[in-house]
Chains A and B, each alone.
Chain A
Amino acid sequence: MNAKVHSELRAIVGDRGIVDSPTRIVPYESDGLAILRQRPELVLLPRTTEETAACMQVLHREGVPIVPRGAGTGLAGGATPVEGGVVIGLARMREVLELNVEDRFARVQAGLVNASLTRACEKHDLFYAPDPSSQRACTLGGNIAANSGGPHCFKYGNTTQHVLGLVIVTHDGEVLELTESDVEPLGYDLVGLFVGSEGTFGIATEIKLRLVRRPPVVETLLAIFTDLDSACETATKMIARRLEPSAIEILDKLTIQAVEDSVFAAGYPREAGAVLLTEVEGLEEEVSATSEDIRAIFSECGAIEVRTARDDAERLSLWAGRKGAFGAMGRVAPDLYVADACVPRTKLGAMVQQTVEIAKELNLRLATVFHAGDGNLHPNICYDRRDQDEVRRVLEAGRRILESCVDAGGSLSGEHGVGLEKLEQMEYQFAAEDLATMCLVRDVWDPDRRLNPGKLIPLRACMETRAAFIGKTPQDIAR
């Protein structure tokens, strides 16, 4: 990038909005998937929609690839600048623009941290429901890009169900206001289409989000099992019997031990083979009736003990342990590969068992913690990136786990997205025509494919299948 363009961008975002020194730029080489890294040319940190649009106009004119970034907590390499270019970060867009208690929504800048929104509205007995484990660090803009989930999305749904409107800056710096109606989209549901597009359609700079009333009563139960299979069987039975808690989470033995050895220690019993953490919300009578049904299933499936959080402090501690599990794994090994896949909830036990066998076969240490209620598995492989052979085995295990889930009727991602990590497996889950259709839609939003290039859809699939669509050879359309 020449000096003139550099100065032009600096003039837009100011000295504090530009990161170009070799040391300060290092954190922007990857997101949470540290195994894959690439240095960007420059990082821009605009403060407003207008600044973002002005930056995008310059970068469009210059034909520079753009990688949007929230807090960099993603786990699929979605914010890794794989083709270099400029990273546009949301870190300086952190304002709550409007809090409407009566109509239960908030308008925020996209760089606001997820947990900050709930803090901003909790005095009104409202909260923002999607609660990814990284909610103390991840931004709402990043949540939009990944369509993030979290333990309580079992009841409340992923991010997409909570987005009422967006302000988006498109590839050429145009501002798209999609905020006219909270009830129904005007025309096509562009907001719903944008959520989960992993930064390939544009950058959301302002977000209108639905807030939820705090339930009057919350009961948190911790069931302790001697083995992981019984915990999985319990979760499957809870779904099959049509019970509706707000979260069903499972942690295996290695995860429990890591959590209990860390600052997130929650009082999980170290000797347990697995624990199942569940929460029931609502009015007193419904919480009581549902808890009773759940306890019966715990007993039927061989829980050796069931604990109930006695107060808010204990409840928060149990959840801190669950949400801190990924961080706690740092005690087991220097690096952690967090897989993310979904399976039908009738196949939970079988698929968890299969992941255990794959890890065993490849001589890897596996810790499992997952959203059992949604069928969203997170097999975590502990490794050391300095050991090249171990890295190779980790990647092979990741691939085999994902493909096993797809074979069982599942999918590659429940909440982390495809990013860079699962790019090649997209052709395993989807047929050429499915990917071609996605490419057609992507090209409408970003005809030059400069937004987060090399993510979500394999370029090869795009070229080959798009050619089939329009009767040209891949060479004709290759750029």
Chain B
Amino acid sequence: MTTGSLTDQLATIAGESALSTWTEPSSARELPLLTPPDEESCVRALQLATENQLALIPIGLGGKTSQTRAAKRADFALSMRGVAGVEAYEPGDGTVTVRAGTTMSELQAVVNAGGHRLTPDVPLPDRSTIGGVIAAGQSGFDRLRFGPIRNHVLGLRVLLGDGTGALTGGRLVKNVTGYDLQRLYAGSRGSLCLIVEASLRLFPLPESELVFTGQTPSLELAMESLRRAGELPLTWDTLSIAGQSGCYRVLAALSGRDAMLSSHRSNVDACIAELDSLQTFEGELARTARDSARDAELTGGWPHLRLLCRPSELSRQSELIFSALRELSESPPRIQVHPRIATLDLWLSEPDATRRSEQLIELFEVAATHSLHIEWLGSQRALAQELAASDTTTPALRLMTKLQSSLDPAGVFARGRFLGGL
């Protein structure tokens, strides 16, 4: 099918106004973008793809596609942004069912009004759809308290490659009927199905919030302060460190009953007393401070690299990465650390893309030597090809490939964007 006839066909599905163009970040190729206004149009787009052996890239607002590798083949992109809105919100039950194209901020506004809190608390919620967040398996700034997003997706309604609709899970907070396919779909980055609707568990809005911030030139002191805070018998929302060599900003966020926060405030102060520029925020100011730190995570885009490990290993493994980087570049990286979750996100300072790719490849070699688990989150094509070639074929990866072939035999969902060519 020529590009012209493809756009003509797409236009027949939802009209010219639903058509635009979109550039795949990893390949810089421009693709026709269809934004269907409803689920029925999504089904027709998938059927068109199946009948004509086309491959499509599903997106929400497209923000997270820079985290994926270049598709082996892609004929068009399909945005779910038009399929939006809350289907059912049951305040008395603490659950919500929402269409995939709804932004996180739209959803947050609805449930907040009903006394509920939405997790995950992702950066830039007005630029993320719930479908995109689930497809990317993106957990939030509140992960320390609530866990990863996959724990809170109660059910999903999806479309398979040929347009067949299928439901998994339900709208209940507890349910073990049938396979947990929502766990398979969450984090599958649009490589298995198109998410059209999700049911989520909600949590009560807290009575009070407190956010503690401080600064230090020493990463070790920042880590030690948060280690002490983490040992307190408190349920933390967030413990994070962000910054660059010479200036690290520490944030510790708590929420819950008023009496509890008042009573333990001084214990937290003692843990972080050695930091500079200490500040404590309450109520609305606390939320602003937390949101601002959360959104700052993505200043300059998605991180280039993420180290994942056990909490007790984080300092040692981080130092291996930093030490390797010092050999490669004079400019220190910007980092974001969640010590209790045990993740280190890293943005390289090297402005030249080719040189940056070389640095990343070297860091992967260091990681392989020391058996570190690092994820590459960027999208540059040369690096993607190099890393794809190094994906090890394990029994697990073979099983994943079979799952993909079984659920999407025609390859409607563009392949090669995820681990191991999935």
Q: Which residues of A approach B to under 8 Å, CB–CB?
A: 100, 102-103, 146-147, 149, 153, 157-158, 160-161, 170, 174-178, 180-190, 192-193, 195-197, 213, 215-216, 236, 239-240, 242-244, 282-286, 288-290, 342-346, 371, 374-376, 409-418, 422, 426, 429-431, 433-438, 440-445, 456-457, 469
How many angstroms from the CA of A157 to the CA of B57 in the assembled complex? Answer: 34
Chain B residues with CB below 8 A from A146, complex form = 176
Question: Which residue of chain B has its CB nearest to the CB of A456?
Answer: B178
Given A176-B399, A178-B396, A190-B400, answer yes or no on A153-B174 (Cβ-Cβ < 8 Å). yes
Q: Report how far A278 CA is from B165 CA in the complex, Å.
A: 41
Is the Cβ of A346 less than 8 Å from the Cβ of B92?
A: yes
- B68 → chain A closest CB, angstroms: 13
Q: Is the CB of A445 within 8 A of B310?
A: no
A237 to B204, CA, bound (A): 14
* CB of B12 within 8 Å of the partner chain: no
Contact partners of B308 in chain A: CB under 8 A: 181-184
Write out the residue numbers on chain A whose beta carbons fall within 8 Å of the beta carbon of B174.
149, 153, 158, 342, 371, 374-376, 414-415
**Measured CA separation A234–B90 after assembly (Å):** 18
Say whether B50 faces chain A, with CB atoms less than 8 Å apart.
no
Taking a contact as CB atoms under 8 Å apart, the answer to whether B188 and A188 are in contact is yes
B187 near A189: Cβ-Cβ < 8 Å: yes
Nearest-neighbour CB distance to chain B for A39, whole angstroms, equals 28
Shortest CB-to-CB span from B146 to chain A, Å, is: 10
> Contact residues of B with A, CB < 8 Å?
90-95, 115-116, 137, 147-148, 150-151, 160, 164-168, 170-181, 183-184, 186-188, 192, 204-205, 233-235, 256-260, 262-264, 308-312, 341-343, 373, 375, 394-397, 399-400, 402-403, 406-407, 418-420, 422
Given contacts A147-B180, A195-B180, A242-B205, contact A345 B92 (CB under 8 A): yes
- Report yes or no: B91 in contact with A240, Cβ–Cβ below 8 A: yes
- What residues on B are CB-neighbors of A178 within 8 Å? 396
Of the candidates B176, B192, B406, which one forms a contact with A414 in the assembled complex, judged by CB atoms under 8 Å apart? B176
25 A-B pairs (CB sep. < 8 Å): A100-B312, A103-B312, A160-B151, A160-B180, A175-B395, A176-B395, A183-B341, A187-B418, A189-B183, A190-B400, A196-B179, A240-B92, A283-B233, A286-B260, A342-B172, A344-B93, A345-B173, A375-B93, A410-B170, A418-B178, A426-B178, A429-B178, A433-B166, A437-B168, A437-B407
A-B contact count (CB 8 A): 228
For the complex, what is the distance from the CA of A440 to the CA of B160, rounded to whole Å? 12
For residue B388, give the distance in angstroms from its CB to the closest CB of chain A: 13
Across the interface, A469 reaches (CB within 8 A) one of B164, B171, B422, namely B164
Question: Which A residues touch B167, using CB under 8 A?
Answer: 430-431, 434
A190 and B399 contact, CB distance less than 8 A: yes
Q: B166 contacts A437, CB within 8 Å? A: yes
Q: Could you tell me if A239 and B260 are in contact, using CB atoms closer than 8 angstroms?
A: no
Judging by beta carbons under 8 Å apart, are A187 and B205 in contact?
no
- Which 4 residue pairs of A and B lie closest in terms of their CB atoms, listed nearest first? A192-B183, A242-B204, A374-B174, A285-B259
Most buried by A among B137, B171, B172, B400: B172
**Contact among A187, A195, A411 with B170 in the assembled complex (CB-CB below 8 Å):** A411
Q: Say how far B123's CB is from chain A's closest CB, in angstroms.
A: 17
